[in-house]
Chain A
């Protein structure tokens, strides 16, 4: 469910015009932490989930503090490289502590497939989009209905004015990073049983989610959700009819195509030029 991860890009982009390029690694961290607590330590699942989510929020805040805040006001792509650097470090630390091998993540929803005609699918596969859509709904509610969500939107619109209104901008940006990592963590826990847990899983998920965010439009949450669904469908079709490798070629080719035709994404706002 790339949409969920991609939404994380949207959240931080909307507040700060920056993005966490280690978003995919946050997914991986979510899966690894959940694995460590739930499988290795044997804690009950709800508790494990809670700890994972808290850990991820902290991870997001940390990324913001280390890799984004120093460069937030400088109009430079330094944050882009800095978050990539964090991603590299996190991936390799995970490799050292967790090992390179993928491990299966048990889930009660993976035991027996539901058969529809000749094709079967696991309940877990159904759970991913359901939870994903619910979370997206919650995020939308948060932005439109709560005062803190409105504050974040204000920061996105005009940081200077928002700062003058007494909004703590660094904290708002940090909150958006924490929220975005949190979503990635949920995605990690949901995907773990489907994909197995491995430190290398982050990069490609992060890239595909980024592709989805670009296709849908970084400024538009509904656009990203639609693009997430569409991208997933296109991928499984190409994988089914052509080959697994062609999946990536088609997927990323699609991104380039969208950027050429509509650089601001399917439902994104067309940026106006400021002089």
Chain B
């Protein structure tokens, strides 16, 4: 409610400026703030949502500005046509840059984007016949300042609205998931690379639009406006305002546009001030001004110290949500055929790290509807095997098929799309997303819809959202997490994190679920609950399960079949009773029963 009032107040203030003053200077400053808002709103999608830093957005801004200027002066296009052309060109350039640059991340990405910005700047100066060289382009027909004010303000409002829509959609969740844990996101079928390219392209389109509007503000443009400093200013405005917050770009842009105007006397100190501000906001305002304000206002709810129903996994409740579905291939997997037939075949799988053999010619067959445990001493290669099966490690040799389809050599997200879901030894929940949204990432999987629909918040997109959320909630209810759906996932205690990870993996509707030490760190009561859940999963026609676990009571209680690994080799494979009495297994792992 307060948020809505804030937005309304902002809109009134923006509308009031041209009515209250006829001073073109104020309008000019306000337009500058609006342009900065548009760029930073786009940058927010990339940096705030997706976690990738770009120091080259001035280059994209320049593409927008020069495209618009050339369209207006050489091709004689009208303002709107030129802006449209600028957005299209900048998006294409952005997608191309992203496809190349996003193969790397972190400081490498910063370098690529810096390099891109510098190359654009140099080309603008060098290629005089088109860009006008250092002098730039003049005589661009420009609209009346007051009209332009309205155009820019509406565009800024539109930009914020679009990013707010995106944030609420499957795309927004995918971005945050990729930011928080790339590995977990890929295990749910999301290609981190693809999501990042989309985010970069969206941010490029915003920068292009702002650049075009900038062209029509001044009537002339020159390379001076598109330097590395400009890129840093964009980033600073976003950080200062609030990374990842919808209102962050507004706050940061207004502050950073006003500040130098207020301090014109201290012109020499301006950049020092910028630098200090950047440093201070990184120190004390990690969530920016907006984050700090909303944090001060929010009444802190005490975090749940325990699971609301740690002993209530509802083992006998119907499991409407657990059976594999929604992949469009359900015809081959009717519940009747489940429980028999081979699902996964891995043969001759080998993997070495340097000279150390982690997996040596492993054969593994998992039947439908079975719980198949993999046990063995530490370092036996259990987790390595899971990582090979789920595509995180490329096997040196061997073949793997799931449901008759080869999954050997596929990247993790492609393996996930074939129907393998997994959890991790250290639970990887998506920070920055609520518990329900974590599961929603799994429900949506790679089916994100088009980015356009997500930006515009189309009715179709909203209907899908409702469906995704209700399915996510149903899964949470089944696993006894229903009451904590709105909690931030990172606030959950360890036991519930594991449960959440399980819910999220099940949400993808997998054929095969791989659990990597799901009982590690759980209390005895929680282990009992896990036991019941796994059994219930099997009874209700859930996916086959590969269970890597050290907790032998659990393994013996739930498993249909056990494979024992030692030093990267299979030393036993069979029914629990046989494996338990196998002398090789007792020697290597179980020890002599006392």
**Residues of chain A whose beta carbon lies under 8 Å from any beta carbon of chain B:** 19, 21, 66-67, 70-71, 77-78, 80-82, 84-89, 91-93, 95-96, 203, 207, 210-211, 214, 243, 245-246, 248-249, 252-253, 255-256, 259-260, 263, 272-273, 275
Contacts and interface: CB of A to CB of B under 8 A. Distances in A.
The bracket for how many chain B residues form the interface is 35 or more
Nearest to B516: A275
A82 B279 contact: yes
B557 interface: no
Contacts of B228: 203
A256 B116 contact: yes
Interface stretch (B255-263, B268-276, B442-450, B466-474): B268-276
B81 interface: no
A99 to B, nearest CB: 11
Contacts of A93: 272
A71 B286 CA distance: 11
A77 B279 contact: no
A92 B272 contact: yes
Most buried by B among A77, A243, A245: A77
A77 B106 contact: yes
Contact of B115 (A84, A89, A246, A255): A255
B53 A80 contact: yes
B232 interface: yes
Contacts of A272: 353
Q: Which of A85, A87, A249 has the most CB of B within 10 A?
A: A85
Task: Report the 4 A-B pairs with minimum CB-CB distance, sorted nearest first.
Answer: A88-B275, A252-B115, A89-B275, A85-B278
Given A81-B278, A88-B278, A89-B279, 18 more contacts: A21-B110, A80-B53, A80-B107, A82-B278, A82-B282, A84-B232, A84-B278, A85-B279, A88-B232, A88-B272, A96-B268, A96-B269, A214-B108, A249-B122, A253-B115, A256-B101, A260-B100, A263-B104
B207 interface: no
Most buried by B among A207, A243, A253, A259: A259
Contacts, number: 114
Interface in B82-120: 100-101, 103-104, 106-108, 110-112, 114-116, 118-119
A245 B114 contact: no
Given A89-B276, A214-B108, A246-B126, A81 B235 contact: yes
Contact of B119 (A66, A84, A253, A259): A253
A95 B272 CA distance: 10
B279 A259 contact: no
Nearest to B97: A256
A13 to B, nearest CB: 8
9 contacts: A78-B286, A80-B106, A89-B275, A245-B126, A253-B119, A255-B112, A259-B100, A263-B104, A273-B393
Nearest to B232: A84
A106 B456 CA distance: 63
B113 to A, nearest CB: 10
Contacts of B520: none
A85 B108 CA distance: 18
Contact of A245 (B122, B235, B274, B424): B122
B11 interface: no
Nearest to B235: A81
Contact of A85 (B275, B383, B424): B275
A263 B101 CA distance: 10
Contacts of B53: 77, 80-81
B123 interface: yes
B350 to A, nearest CB: 17
A263 B100 CA distance: 10
Given A93-B272, A245-B125, A70 B283 contact: yes
A96 B278 CA distance: 20
B514 to A, nearest CB: 12
Given A92-B272, A245-B125, A77 B112 contact: no
A92 B271 contact: yes
A109 B316 CA distance: 88
B282 A207 contact: no
B276 A85 contact: yes
Contacts of B271: 88-89, 91-92
Contact of B118 (A88, A89, A248): A248
A254 B37 CA distance: 33
A211 B115 contact: yes
Q: Main secondary structure on chain B at its contact with chain A?
A: helix
A232 to B, nearest CB: 17
B392 A273 contact: yes
Given A88-B271, A260-B103, A78 B115 contact: no
B392 A86 contact: no
Contact of B104 (A67, A80, A95, A259): A259
Contacts of A256: 100-101, 112, 115-116, 119
B239 interface: yes
B183 interface: yes
A231 B276 CA distance: 34
B535 interface: no
Given A88-B271, A91-B271, A93-B272, A259 B111 contact: yes
Nearest to B390: A275
Contacts of B107: 19, 77, 80
Contacts of A249: 119, 122-123, 126
Nearest to B280: A85
A273 B387 CA distance: 11
A84 B282 CA distance: 12
A24 to B, nearest CB: 12
Nearest to B278: A85
Contacts of A81: 53, 235, 239, 278, 282
B188 to A, nearest CB: 14
A96 B424 CA distance: 54
A245 B131 CA distance: 15
A210 B114 CA distance: 11
A96 B268 CA distance: 7
Contacts of A252: 115-116, 118-119
B275 A263 contact: no
Contacts of A78: 282, 286
A259 B103 contact: yes
B100 A214 contact: no
Contacts of A95: 268
B242 to A, nearest CB: 15
Contacts of B278: 81-82, 84-85, 88
Interface in B117-149: 118-119, 122-123, 125-126
Interface string B322-353: 00000000000000000000000000000001
Central interface residue in B119, B392, B393, by most chain A CB within 10 Å: B119
A249 B268 CA distance: 31
A259 B108 contact: yes
Interface in B485-517: none
Given A80-B53, A252-B115, A275 B392 contact: yes
Nearest to B276: A89
Nearest to A87: B275
